[in-house]
Structure 1
Amino acid sequence: MTTPQQFQSSDRRIDLDWVRILAFGLLIFYHIGMLYVSWGFHIKSVHRLTWMEPVMLFLNPWRLSLLFLVSGVATRFMLGKSSLASLAGARSARLLIPLIFGMLVIVPPQAYLQIVESLGHLAGFFDFYTRHYFAFGAQFCPKPCIVLPTWNHLWFVVYLWIYTMALIGVLALWPAGADRLGRKLADMLAGPRLLIVPCLLYAAWRLVLFPAFPSTHALFGDWYNHADHATAFLIGFLLARHEGIWRDVERQRWVALLAAAACFFAFILVRAGLFTPSPALKWAAASAYGCYQWLAIAAVLGFARRTFTADGPARRYLTDAIFPYYIVHQTAIIVIAHQLHGSGLSAGIEASIVIVGTALTCVATYEIVRRVAWVRPLFGLRAAPRTLRRVEQQPA
């Protein structure tokens, strides 16, 4: 049985470390799956595995919002140990250095191979990098018409930095805001309202903002994603220190899971086209999608709090490793998948090679990076490697 003291004695939330690790792990597998479904991606396999799409839809509504919520919790704990100026500096170093490095070094092969597979660009990577990548505008239009340079999967880092800096700006003007709003939000979400109120909010974003502002990850004009992810970030930040809410999350985990399953089932039935389309049906599907987002997040957090209570070397290793994994994984996926084009391999063998190759690339990258002090900040790690003392690092 988990006791409250386990969570009050330290700002280290073992359960949320594991949530972050597993969420990033799911993200890596999700991007591998994008090679095989009918949705757009930077490159595509010749194989189409449409049976994967319901599985991808099961993850898609909540996986990224969950990461932003965990990041909000981590930000609150960091603020308890440092000033606003120190927090701004630490988060900027942790996020902007990897972002810039990633846009200059890690991401360009993704954009290049997308052009190669779309247009057969044969001038070579050096020509692409020097003549096109730093154009600061649309290139190779009308199709695929990529705006270069690009951050691709590193958009998460951009958004997280923006939300953190905006929050710091608000707290600079209203220092008591975090505690005051946190108490009000905790009171508002007490009991069954914990599942109901955020559910209604996420449904509202889906109904009102998504039709007008579909997802772009381009920062400007991406208002649905900002509402979605900033809401999760603020919920995590404001509720981080309210132990009663976390006990409620754990207590209501089964209710959240069953309600999430019902909402997902309703959404899938409509998406599958089993009913005659109508405005009312679209409204119901969007509402079910929005509610599913929050209910799935609540279920994951509740079960994680109950299950992941013990620390160990695997958690300590992966807490540091997962962010470098995230930085390199999509480039590894795209490079490996491109090399397998025309190989004639079955979908199963091809996917296995992509999975194993991506995992090995992530592990090898981290094992090299963590041993070189000046390289570590490029991948979001502190410049000084861990000492024998347990120097813990809050998750992104």
Structure 2
Amino acid sequence: MVRRAELDWLRVLLFALLVPHHVAVGFVDWGVAIYGFVNDRLAGDGITLFIYWSHSWRLPSLFLIAGIGTWFVTSRGVGSRFMGRRLFRLLIPAIFGTMFLNVFGGYAVATATGESATFLAFWWTWLTEPVLRQIQHLWFLFNLAVYTLMCWPIFAFRSQIAARMVRPEFLLSALVLASAVAIVVLKPHAPALAGDNYQFVFYLLFFLGGFLVGAGGARLLDWSGRHAWWLLAAAAAMFAVKVVLLAAALAEDDAVGEALAAGGWVPLGLAPPNAVAFCAVEAATAWLWCCAALGLSVRFLSKPSDLLADLTRGTFPFYVLHFPIVLVGLNIAARVSFPWQVEFILVMVFVYGLTWMLWRVVDNLGLVAVLFGGKPSALSPPYSTNSVQK
């Protein structure tokens, strides 16, 4: 199997973007609905816009790259051995993380909201009385496992799919259309936050779309590289339209705007303005930013290196470890009285530093690293020397 360095660089950068995104949620007033608490000093609308921008395409990009990676992995076979290894790699860290890592983030939330139980008592309740929210950020891994199972029959036809692959612009148009239809049909009926409800189908289309991108070989990657600046301009314009439509809904009524952003306005008896257009723009925004990111990666991040190999090995464990540390960092920041900008930077340094140090420790514990998503370096395949004209 041959890897593309630009895909690994993009994957590393997207997972690195998780930290400022998740930290930022702790510095906006509506973050209390997600984390249960927020910082004592809040940021302004600029941080809200950053969260909204990153959320509009970061997760779709990760599912897209996961789908591309699945194409390469299935080149070695799509039988029960493939599925067993895939589920093992996804579910072992997800289950272990939920039981033994996320509890630290859960306890940080509990103490920030007035919980007086000791950590051991809290952990015992965590293990014996589990609830769905304990999964926290690891829903991504559970969704990937389900998507892999759902698409398993499709993987068996990889050769036929590759032989009939259409031109990149036609593939992208079809994926945007399918995603828009999914959002238009499903989003009005239930809100989504963490890969549930309409997002479940939306992200599934990005995962499947990534598999189709892989089936096309280097065609869509190289096409994105040649049109990177046009894709970036289109993505920025589409995001601006999305913001304007949402702002118009919020100006009409806060509840209407919030329902348009999250979904589920039909059960609430609401009718957001331009809802169909907003749903279509949401789909187009995500795909355009994904392709722009791919194109820029092809143009500027196509060279492999020892640093990239090291970062790539640490990306999955970094993801598993980082979120409980974010919540602990936000808990600490809420107890001090520095300007929010200083606290924001300090929390990010704390999360990046502690997460990476823990990964370095775990990486030297042999098979224990598997529990955190670790993988022996010997299993990392070589990179492709493919390039695109700059």
User: Does the alignment reach a TM-score above 0.5?
Assistant: yes
The whole-number CA distance in structure 1 between the counterparts of 2:287 and 2:226 is 16
8 Å CA contact 1:179, 1:238 repeated in 2: no
Distance change in 2, residues 1:391/1:182 (3 Å)? closer
Number of the residue aligned with 1:7? none
Residue among 185, 192, 213 paired with 1:208:
185
The whole-number CA distance in structure 1 between the counterparts of 2:276 and 2:132 is 36
Number of the residue aligned with 1:256? 231
RMSD, matched Cα: 2.3
8 Å CA contact 1:58, 1:264 repeated in 2: yes
8 Å CA contact 1:209, 1:224 repeated in 2: yes
Question: Which letter does structure 1 place at the counterpart of 2:158?
Answer: A
Shift of 1:49: 1.2
Matched, 1:364 2:357: yes
Aligned residue pairs, count: 360
Number of the residue aligned with 2:89? 94
The whole-number CA distance in structure 2 between the counterparts of 1:158 and 1:24 is 17
Distance change in 2, residues 1:276/1:344 (3 Å)? closer
The whole-number CA distance in structure 2 between the counterparts of 1:284 and 1:303 is 28
8 Å CA contact 1:135, 1:148 repeated in 2: no
The whole-number CA distance in structure 1 between the counterparts of 2:132 and 2:215 is 41
The whole-number CA distance in structure 1 between the counterparts of 2:149 and 2:168 is 32
1:320-340 Cα offsets, whole Å, 9 max, x none, are: 011111111111111122123
Matched, 1:392 2:385: no
Residue among 287, 294, 300 paired with 1:294:
287
Distance change in 2, residues 1:245/1:170 (3 Å)? closer
Residue among 338, 349, 370 paired with 1:345:
338
Shift of 1:170: 4.8
Residue among 69, 79, 83 paired with 1:84:
79
Matched, 1:378 2:371: yes
- Which secondary structure does the structure 1 equivalent of 2:38 belong to? coil
Number of the residue aligned with 2:158? 178
8 Å CA contact 1:199, 1:292 repeated in 2: no
8 Å CA contact 1:370, 1:376 repeated in 2: yes
Residue among 115, 124, 143 paired with 1:121:
115
Number of the residue aligned with 1:166? 150
More helix by share: 2
Number of the residue aligned with 1:272? 247
Shift of 1:133: 4.3
Number of the residue aligned with 2:3? 12
- Which secondary structure does the structure 2 equivalent of 1:58 belong to? helix
Number of the residue aligned with 2:18? 27
The answer for unaligned runs of 5 or more in structure 2 is 254-270, 384-390
The whole-number CA distance in structure 2 between the counterparts of 1:304 and 1:183 is 26
Shift of 1:313: 1.3
The whole-number CA distance in structure 2 between the counterparts of 1:267 and 1:103 is 34
Number of the residue aligned with 2:276? 283
Q: Which range moved further: 192-201 or 80-89? A: 192-201
- Which secondary structure does the structure 1 equivalent of 2:121 belong to? helix
The whole-number CA distance in structure 2 between the counterparts of 1:377 and 1:393 is 21
Number of the residue aligned with 1:227? 201
8 Å CA contact 1:257, 1:295 repeated in 2: yes
1:235-286 Cα offsets, whole Å, 9 max, x none, are: 1112204233333222332332222111111111122238768755233222
Question: Which letter does structure 1 place at the counterpart of 2:159?
Answer: D
Question: Which letter does structure 2 place at the counterpart of 1:214?
Answer: P
The whole-number CA distance in structure 2 between the counterparts of 1:17 and 1:273 is 38
Q: Mapping of 1:127-146 within 5 angstroms? A: 127-136=121-130
Number of the residue aligned with 2:222? 247
1:280-323 Cα offsets, whole Å, 9 max, x none, are: 52332222222111111111111211221211111001000111
Q: Percent identity?
A: 26
Shift of 1:224: 1.0
Number of the residue aligned with 1:58? 53
The answer for unaligned runs of 5 or more in structure 1 is 1-9, 137-146
If asked which structure has higher relative contact order (CA below 8 Å, sep 6+), I would say 2
8 Å CA contact 1:324, 1:365 repeated in 2: no
Shift of 1:182: 4.2
Shift of 1:36: 0.8
Shift of 1:348: 1.7
8 Å CA contact 2:190, 2:198 repeated in 1: yes
- Which secondary structure does the structure 1 equivalent of 2:144 belong to? helix
> What is the TM-score normalised by the length of structure 1?
0.84
- Which secondary structure does the structure 2 equivalent of 1:374 belong to? helix
